[in-house]
């Protein structure tokens, strides 16, 4: 719920997804949910770190581990959707993701409750891609 406030949306993508976890003393402090679309393409739907464990590199390590695992499974391309601003956009770009397209009004059309960050409402979704075949 930290990364996606809609339990309904989470339930839709959780089935048939691969889930990765970051642990600290046997406690889950981060999760990453990726759904394979086919043998070479996967979509990252959710990555979240417990608020008290953020800004310590946990999310970066978890995402790097996830991408390495996907590459080892033969996945060549990872896609995701995120807001058009905020810390998460820079987070993904630091890990090699690039903007591919924009879905206008996505957050307005798919979420009952408005999503705000830094006092600004998220409206559009950026689609980002990471090519795992590039070193």
SS3 67: helix
Per the structure block, which two tokens stand in for 85?
């601003």
Residue 44 lies in a domain: yes
Residue 2 lies in a domain: no
Residue 1 lies in a domain: no
Q: Count the domains in the chain.
A: 1
Element (H, E) at 12: helix 7-14
Q: Where residue 108 sits, what CATH number does that domain have? A: 3.40.630.30
The whole-angstrom separation of Cα 74 and Cα 124 is: 31
Q: Are 44 and 34 in contact (CB under 8 A)?
A: yes
Residue 15 lies in a domain: yes
Query: Is the whole-model pTM more than 0.95?
Result: no
Q: Which pLDDT band, with edges at 50, 70 and 90, does 81 fall under?
A: very high
In the predicted model, what is the mean pLDDT of residues 90-116?
Answer: 90
Residue 77 lies in a domain: yes
Residue 81 lies in a domain: yes
In the predicted model, what is the mean pLDDT of residues 78-99?
Answer: 91
- Per the structure, the complete domain to which residue 108 belongs is given by 7-131
Q: What would the pLDDT profile of 107-118 be if each residue is shown by its tens digit? A: 888 888 888 888
């Amino acid at each position: 719920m930290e990364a996606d406030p809609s339990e309904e949306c989470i339930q839709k993508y959780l089935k048939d997804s691969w889930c990765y976890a970051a642990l600290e003393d046997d406690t889950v402090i981060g999760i990453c949910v990726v759904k394979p679309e086919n043998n070479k393409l996967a979509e990252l739907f959710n990555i979240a770190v417990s608020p008290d464990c953020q800004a310590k590199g946990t999310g970066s390590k978890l995402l790097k581990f996830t991408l390495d695992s996907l590459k080892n499974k033969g996945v060549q391309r990872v896609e995701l959707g995120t807001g058009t601003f905020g810390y998460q956009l820079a987070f993904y770009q630091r890990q090699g993701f690039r903007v591919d397209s924009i879905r206008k009004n996505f957050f307005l059309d798919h979420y009952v409750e408005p999503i705000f960050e830094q006092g600004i409402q998220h409206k559009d979704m950026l689609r980002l891609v990471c090519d795992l075949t590039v070193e």
